[in-house]
Structure 1
């Protein structure tokens, strides 16, 4: 299995992983042969990455259970938001059972092979952003040693972190250009709105509410709404802040293109001590890999290949399998390059 950008998807390739839309509905099933119509259909649905079969990379497997749980949870996200906003508290609890299932599986997996590119499969910036933030937070919390119950609360808080935006004018939320100063001041009210909404339903803990209210606070005190700093910020608030920023910059916006995975990763590391708690940035570095298994990369020596294994603790130094020569048509005997053993070679870009 390999990962390709939609722009590089070719007809007659075989889809290796179910493709869902931003609301969790199945678009294209595993095993589908790609046609021109398939490519056009996926483009209309804002999909920019797909998994396709490749016999030279057949040892790379898709985590189908995670895929199905994510789709199931994504499908429930509008219902969860609506139930909270309309006061349907019992129905909210029932809808959130899907979050429990997802977090239980994250904990069950034990070993983490989570990467920072596959987290964002869509350009959508609504429920998908909230779900991706929740999944990242769950993996990060688990790797830090939080209990299963704490990871579930953290994930719920992260998934609901932007619920306060439902109280912000659609004209501001959907604006196609950068916000004016006045509009930005209005947008900055959404953590407070989120806190009030969650407090009113009365079924979520103070830790969950604090995570939503504080996810825009900064470690150096230059955040909002309170301008608190350091350990004045709750653990949930500090964790969600990291995951929110990563998933936000990894999405295309009308006024800027998405960051590349290594750029988003470097942003998090460079912001240790200013935006983020330095200790949590270290946990972030030890939890996530930058380049997903099956992604095609170009190395600094000009060689192109696919990521087939990760080196724990070195998220930017995976093992690369080279399966073609100077062009994709040039057949060679596949071989592997362990970037941990070749410090003179780095990954230049994902292609």
Structure 2
């Protein structure tokens, strides 16, 4: 058992109190044994990997925090490609570096994302035209309800935009309460050292290539890290803008009808799926969510909006902070809420609520937080 450490020292946002008890798991068997014992006693628990997507209260935290520090990358050659079986405690960016160094394409545009491998499928991480779901074969997990280890295919994880059946949405319970033990990724062995076709305009511009061009893996990785660093999304002890949970809000997905109410210059990206309902707040002062009709006779295509654009056009600028608060919007990126030094969890929560209220008032859309919330309500 480890001496309990404040989560402020273990998370990139730099806030969070100490749990009653803290355990460290260095291999999957140890992790399973620790969790099994905790679950038998029915006490509060949580697992913590890299701490890059966690927003916790500064108050003492009930129960036990299990630090996942398992390691290992196994390479399996198959007819379909190269499978990497990766332990949950591996650092995500170290895995990307391994793949790039070994000529494996598929996750090079996901360079620089902080956190652990085990968190990647929960969040279905994505950036610069690549998403984990495109290469994820499946995971091994420990199921809380059954107490059993199981291999689960990616198709059973309900992967969507920054979500899965394993995610605690807004701090509420996940649809399937389980802990990821390892992840299987199917990558493409590159015969010429180049990655997958560049699928994101900003990345193509940074590389000075056209969309669809294939570029050397290492060059893509360097360009992505440079882009992330310019937005304060690579942790740097000398730069307080990097003390954040990354993008604090997800890009909202609404129906085409809702998207048409926005100004013409509002960025929007039509999605492949067809939606039956949208979660939109009316602009008449009501705080109630519009309920879907009992029977939906027509369907509408979903449209993804830019949360950053919505924030910036709600009179909230880069570097904005509430009076007397040490929490602020990043000076580099309006989606990041940052700890500018000795910020409290209440400071960050108040800023998040203010941003939500301004966007809701201006556009009738409620921004949803991306981090896992621990004893915090937004």
The structure with the largest helix share of the pair is 1
TM-score (norm 2): 0.28
TM-score (norm 1): 0.29
The structure with the largest strand share of the pair is 2
Higher RCO structure, 1 or 2 (CA under 8 Å, sep 6+): 2
